[in-house]
Structure 1
Amino acid sequence: MIQFQNEQVTVFQSVLYQTTSTVIQTKDIVLLVDPNWLPNEIEEIKHFLDTIKGERDTYLLFTHGDFDHIIGYQAFPAAKVISSSALANSSEKEQRLEMIREFDNKHYISRNYPIAFPKVDVMINEDGQRVCVGDTTLTFYLAPGHTEDGLFTVIEPLGVMIAGDYLSNFELPFIYQSAKAYKQTMEKAYHIFTNHKIQLLVPGHGQATTDSTEMKRRLDVAANYLERLCQAVMADDEQALDSLYNEHAFLSSFTKYCHEENIAIIKREYT
């Protein structure tokens, strides 16, 4: 379904995990971000893209390489792919493809395109790297922490920030890679808010927002939660850790696993 739409930006939201897929159109390009999850959802995105793209080149941006974010890759074979170099050079390609196959087999899902790991045309290696097409500028910032291959992307002159699996309105930090890197990425988000005029923030899960106060609130919530979690782990405070777990939305075996993984990573890095 369409969660948010204006003349330039359409944000689709899957029924699974409130995962977003975003289509951004400027006079120069059409940019598609993380097409997902279910075949009918990807088909809806594909139909919309075919309707609006005209003669413009299509770019396919992956915010990171988690399997749910790359699952629609081969439905758009003509698109030029953009990702971090860490995604392009990932050592976990087969593992992530196996997760897609397992998901589809578990749910009896058939797709009309092959499952493959993205072949990257434009690799992002450093903060501030830009891709310019006509009057459209994409500025990238490496965003490790959740995963090592994450990217923030700012699309100008529209003032759109694509955040990947950060800055959700409901999802607290899931640290799959590094708590220290996650903290640095939150500092980088603050830098982006300070140095770019962000008019629309789109997270990988949850609601897009045009409210600058809400953008800052999400950043503060994530940074504060991570700091309190690190303190609780270092103090070996089980009561505080239980309380922090209960702050997660949609408590389940999945959030329990993520919370335990957060604790394990913090212990490894800080104790």
Structure 2
Amino acid sequence: MRQFENEQLTVFQSVLYQTTSAVIKTKEALIVTDPNWLPNEIAEIKGYIESIIEDRRLYIIYTHSDYDHIIAAGAFPNATTIASEAFVKRINKEEVLEQIRQFDAQYYIERGYPIIYPHIDIIIKEDGQTLELQDITCSFYLSPGHTGDGLFTVVEPFGILLAGDYLSNVEFPFIEDYEAYFATIQKVQTIISDKEIEVMVPGHGTTTNNLDEIQKRIDESLLYLNNLANDSIDESQLRKLYPFYKGLQEMHELNKKAVHK
């Protein structure tokens, strides 16, 4: 379904884990993030793209390499792809593809495109790297912590922040590397301060154009990280903040292990 729309941005939301896929329309390009999950949802995204693409060039930004975020890579063979250098250098790519195959086998899902790990055309190696198009500038920032290959994108002058699996209102931080995650949240605070951000798209949960809400999510992430490190998490508070906490308890236990590594 379509979760959010304005003149430049349309955000699609899957029924699974409220996973989002953003489509940004500019004079020269369509920029898409992480098209996902189910075949009918991907068909809806493809249909929308085909209805507005005209002579625009299609770009796909992969915010990171978790299997749910690359699951439809094979559905867009003509797109120009963008991801971090760590995404390209991921060693266990076959493991990610096997997760997709297992998911599809479990639910008897058939897809009309190949399951592939995406080849990347534009590799982001450092913070501040840019892609200049006719009417926009995309600035990229490495965002490790959730995974080692995360990527933020700021699209100017529209003020769009594509945050990947950070700043969700339905998930607390899912942590692979605690110190890297903490540094990434501090980095996004700097981005919010330095750039004129008007709307933020998380990888899971609700898109927001409310700056107070964006700051609230930053503060909640920092609070969770600090409390996790101090072993002072109030799980009753987590239940109030995150409506699907019952399904997230296993991840909270994994986070405890991550912080003590």
Is the contact between residue 169 and residue 242 of structure 2 (CA under 8 Å) also seen in structure 1?
Answer: no
Partner of 2:167: 167
Partner of 2:256: 263
The one-letter code matched in structure 2 to 1:194 is S
Partner of 2:114: 114
**2:198 aligned with 1:199, yes or no?**
yes
Q: SS at the partner of 1:161?
A: strand
The structure-2 alpha-carbon separation of the partners of 1:260 and 1:244, relative to structure 1 and needing over 3 Å to count, comes to farther
The one-letter code matched in structure 1 to 2:89 is N
For structure 2, list consecutive stretches of 5 or more residues without a partner in the other structure: none
Q: SS at the partner of 1:82?
A: strand
1:80-119, Cα deviation, whole Å (9 max, x unpaired): 0000010111012111100000000000000000000010
Q: Cα offset for 1:37?
A: 0.2
Q: SS at the partner of 2:118?
A: coil
> What is the distance in 2 between the residues matched to 1:36 and 1:230?
33
* Matched residue count: 260
Paired residues for 1:41-190 under 5 Å: 41-175=41-175, 177-190=176-189
The one-letter code matched in structure 1 to 2:60 is L
Is the contact between residue 81 and residue 121 of structure 2 (CA under 8 Å) also seen in structure 1?
Answer: yes
Partner of 1:231: 230
Q: TM-score, normalised by structure 1?
A: 0.93
Is the contact between residue 145 and residue 185 of structure 1 (CA under 8 Å) also seen in structure 2?
Answer: yes
Q: SS at the partner of 1:192?
A: helix
The one-letter code matched in structure 1 to 2:23 is V
The structure 2 residue matched to 1:250, chosen from 234, 244, 247, is: 244
> What is the distance in 1 between the residues matched to 2:208 and 2:135?
24
The one-letter code matched in structure 1 to 2:125 is N
Q: TM-score, normalised by structure 2?
A: 0.96
Q: SS at the partner of 2:32?
A: strand
Q: Cα offset for 1:222?
A: 0.5
1:181-217, Cα deviation, whole Å (9 max, x unpaired): 0110001011100110001100000111111111100
> What is the distance in 2 between the residues matched to 1:217 and 1:7?
26
Is the contact between residue 18 and residue 206 of structure 1 (CA under 8 Å) also seen in structure 2?
Answer: yes
**2:16 aligned with 1:23, yes or no?**
no
> What is the distance in 2 between the residues matched to 1:107 and 1:127?
39
Shift >6 Å, 4+ stretches:
none
Q: Cα offset for 1:28?
A: 1.6
For structure 1, list consecutive stretches of 5 or more residues without a partner in the other structure: none
1:123-180, Cα deviation, whole Å (9 max, x unpaired): 00111110111221100000000000001100011110000000012211010x2110
Aligned-pair RMSD on alpha carbons?
1.3
Is the contact between residue 23 and residue 30 of structure 2 (CA under 8 Å) also seen in structure 1?
Answer: yes
Is the contact between residue 245 and residue 256 of structure 1 (CA under 8 Å) also seen in structure 2?
Answer: no
> What is the distance in 1 between the residues matched to 2:64 and 2:243?
22
Percent identity at matched positions? 48
The one-letter code matched in structure 2 to 1:250 is F
> What is the distance in 2 between the residues matched to 1:93 and 1:264?
24
The one-letter code matched in structure 2 to 1:228 is N
Q: Cα offset for 1:18?
A: 0.4
Q: Cα offset for 1:257?
A: 2.2
The one-letter code matched in structure 2 to 1:209 is T
Q: Cα offset for 1:248?
A: 4.2
The one-letter code matched in structure 2 to 1:120 is I
> What is the distance in 2 between the residues matched to 1:258 and 1:172?
9
Is the contact between residue 229 and residue 241 of structure 1 (CA under 8 Å) also seen in structure 2?
Answer: no
